[in-house]
Structure formats: structure tokens, C-alpha cells
Amino acid sequence: MQTGNLDLVKYMVSTVLVANRGEIACRILRACSEAGLNSVAIYANNDKESMFVELATKSVELVGETIGETYLDQQQILDIAAKHGADAIHPGFGFLSERADFARAVLEAGITWIGPSPLAIEMMGDKMTARKTMKAAGVPVIPGEEIDFEDETKMIEAIVQASTRVGYPLLLKASSGGGGKGMRKVENPDNLVESIKGARREAIAAFGDGRVYIERMLTGSKHVEIQVLADTHGRVIHLGERECSVQRRHQKVFEESPCPVMTTDLREKMGKAAVMAAKAVNYEGAGTVEFLLDSTGEFFFLEMNTRIQVEHPVTEMVTGIDLVREQLRIAAGKPMSCGQLMMRGHAIEVRLYAEDASNNFLPAIGPLAVFRPPTGPGIRLDTGVREGDMVTPNYDPMLAKLIVWAPSRAEALQRMRRALDDFVVLGTTTNLRFLRELCDHEDVVSGATDTTMIERIWPNGWSPQFSSEILNAALMVAGVSESAGLHNVQATQSSADDGPPSPFQSLTRRYP
């Protein structure tokens, strides 16, 4: 048994199995260590050299080759928990985190589930059920209609009729969807039927559920989400908002807290709606209620994520609350430790991906021959990789989350620019330069971002101005050559007084 703060042990939680990998596994394992809890990491063979494997009290290799045979194998994970004395399971995000059947199986095995009830997961995981529940609770939802038909012919007929009531442009959305899968934007009736069929096919392939419903497409809206916490002692609170409008392929890349256009009155209204949403499903633990906020100040329920969010660090930075630690407390039966909401300063997070931003953000692979994160006051890096690791196509291409805090938004943006300037990644293509350019864009600087920003500003794709001569010079300064096996190379950059950003300037600061 580890030493430290053992107050959670009194509530029958002593060893936490983390049913995840990478960055979020590292985050949870460190929280367990700080709470004085033992931990069990599970890993696939291709992860055996990963950072998270070394952070756990005990690490156990999964049997199997594919994700389905390893990180998604519920019975194998439960067997490992039983064999190695884990009395709690934390699912992180992704993988099994929003699988109600897994949460139910964990509880039936007599193991503490660090998350909401299976029923809450089911109700919020099905988007049509979630819409109906929110309507009944008095939470404003996006105008639309729930088309609850499995039969394709009946579904098409119902959606076509509903489209005249909802109006164009509209969105088709998979009821079990997520990450933009099973979603289609429809500008006019001409391609409605074909779009319905396409969304249905994608939904069946991704989720095994072909149900598709319809919503009005709100253009120029901000994506604002409210962090909620609910314990087993009847307390439900919100911890302020995060703005996550800057997205590509419906996936976030730039998040901040507070929202630049938030007012005290609007925060109170959105926070109240989020708490109502959580209470409507008897929520327990940490969750996120997502809204679309239009230019008039109206907001509409989008969905509820029944897990810890990727972007949770910005909330932690402005509130001083460790959300994963609160999850552990709540799951162990203790009341949350949070008092009255206090938000201080401004935090920004960007997601560093191994991807080619100039080629429709396609994932990239290769070695992390050089991985030198920035340091300094107000800078936090959440990552599961380190220099020398290999980026493979096996998992999500996110390498790290870079988070900064400063007393004001302007100072936070400047700190993020400096941090990105100092971040050196060589060996695989990343979106580092794209993130740096975002920080200088007038819409980001002014806070005028919305969910269409990337496709609106770069309709034909983002195009860097980066010559091969600069790249070769950067490699020479870094002491890395093509003979080292670097096929896809990307470096960070620094803003010059004149001309395009240059990676050479950043690298010379680290390699004089």
C-alpha cells in the first residue's frame, strides 16, 4: 500500500484499475498516487514501452492484438481487476468510458465504477433520448425532431416531412453518434434523401445503430460547455464554462476558460440549465453539458458527456479544482470538496496532434526523434509520450495537450504563443504550426470564434508557407539528419518581424 492521503481507503476504495491508455491513463494514475491509492494499468503489447505503464503500482499486459481484443475486451479487464485486487475502475475517456453495459458489468462484479450510473450513461448516450429528457426537464434544446425509426423507408419519409417544419440548412445526426460520425449537413432538399442514406450507413458502421434524427443547423454559434459535479450526498454544482468552438471535423483543437463573451448573468443561466440536466438523470461524478450559444445570447442543449473531458485541464487551471481527484472522492462515497465557484484568470488548451493540417488534418506516423516541450510559469503539459517514442496508426493521433494560465486572456494568448514557439517536435508531422497560426488569427484574438471557423477561414484547407531550405537548416541545427529515418518532419516556429514564421528561430533558442 502506498503512503499518503489514505482517506479514500476508509470508503472501501484502495486500488484503482485504469481501463485506458496514453495521456488520460497517465493523468488518472498520477491522481491515484496523490490520493494514496494503489493502481493497476492494463496495456496492449504495442504499448508495453509506453509512459503510463511505468506510472502504475502494477501493470498487466492484455492478451490480444486488436483494440477489440485488448482495451475493449470487457471480460478480460474485469478478470484482471479481480485477479489483482482492484476494487475500483476508472474508464478515462474514449474506449469503454460511455458504455453502459461495461459500467453495469463492473458494478455487478462488486467493483466501484468511477463514473455515473449505467442508466445515466444510457439516457445521455442516446441523443434522441437525451433531447427528450432535456425537454422534459425544461432545458432548451436545438429546434428539431426525433425520428425514432430503424426502418430506412419510414425514416426517410418521416425526415423529409420534418424538414419542412425544421427548415434549412439542417443537420442529420446519428442517435448514437459522436465525433462527427453519422452527421450530415444539408443545405437544401435536393440532396436530403441521399444524405439520410449516407448518415445511416455511417451510423450503422460506427455504432451498430442506424437511427438518424434532424436538427436545425445553427450557423455562427459558439460551442460552450459547462462542467458539472454531483456527489452521492445530494449536491450538484457547476464549475463554470469552457469554450470549444475551434474544431476540425467536429473535433476540438483549441479550448479556453472562461468563454470570451460570457457574462455573469449568462453564466448563471447556463450553469443552472446544466445542473438541471444533471439532476434529470440523477447524475453522479464529473460530467459535461454541452451547449450551442448563438449571437443573440440564446443557448441550446447539444449533448451531455458522461465522463471526464479531454479539455478538463482548463477548468482545473481557473478553479484550482482537481477534477479527477473529485471523481475518486465521489466514487468512494465522500462528499465533493468544492466550495463556492471561483474562477481566476484565464486558461487556454491546444491539442497537439500527429497530423498533417495542410492535408485535411490526416493522421501522421513516425518517430518522435525530438520532443522538447516548453517550460515556465503557467505552463502545463498533459501527455502520454516522450522523446524516442514511435507514433503509430494504432490509436488516436493526439500527442499532448498544452495548457497555459495567465491573469488575463491577452496574457494567456501571449503565453501560449511563446510556449508553442518553444515547443520542438521532430520526426513526425504535427499540427504545431497550425496551432501557432491560430493564436494570431484575428477571430481568436478578438474572441469571435465559432464552430465553422476553420472551414470558413480555410475553405480549401490550411496551407503553410514553409520551404525545404528552412526545414533542412532546422534539422541541421537540431543535430538530426534524414539518415536518422525521419520521413515526415515538422518543427515549431517563432514569429519573425518580417516574413513567414520560421522553425529555425525556435530551434536556435534550444540549440545555440
Q: Which of 200, 211, 307, 433 is catalytic?
A: 307
Cell of 509: 533558442
Helix (H, G, I), strand (E, B) or coil at 230: strand
Helix (H, G, I), strand (E, B) or coil at 508: helix
Q: What is the pLDDT of residues 199-229, one digit of tens each?
A: 999 999 988 999 999 999 988 899 999 999 9
> What pLDDT score was predicted for residue 340?
85
Q: Which residue spans of the chain are classified as CATH 3.40.50.20?
A: 9-114
Q: Which residue spans of the chain are classified as CATH 3.30.1490.20?
A: 143-216
Question: Which option is the CATH number for 9-114: 3.20.20.70, 3.40.50.20, 3.40.50.1820, 3.90.420.10?
Answer: 3.40.50.20
> What pLDDT score was predicted for residue 479?
56
CATH architecture assignment, domain 143-216 = 2-Layer Sandwich (3.30)
CA–CA separation, 446 and 466 (whole Å)? 27
> What pLDDT score was predicted for residue 78?
98
CA–CA separation, 196 and 504 (whole Å)? 49
**Cβ–Cβ contacts within 10 Å for residue 375, how many?**
9
Q: Which residues of the chain have pLDDT under 50?
A: 1-10, 467-469, 481-512
- Exposed / middle / buried, residue 490 (Cβ in 10 Å: 0-12, 13-18, 19+): buried
| Catalytic residue status for 380 | no
> What pLDDT score was predicted for residue 430?
96
> What pLDDT score was predicted for residue 5?
44
> What pLDDT score was predicted for residue 466?
55
Q: What percent of the chain has pLDDT over 90?
A: 82
CA–CA separation, 101 and 333 (whole Å)? 22
- What is the DSSP secondary structure assignment for residue 407, as one 8-state letter? S
CA–CA separation, 50 and 144 (whole Å)? 45
Per the CB < 8 A criterion, the answer to whether 146 and 172 are in contact is: no
Q: Residue 17: which H helix or E strand, with range?
A: strand 15-18
> What pLDDT score was predicted for residue 471?
55
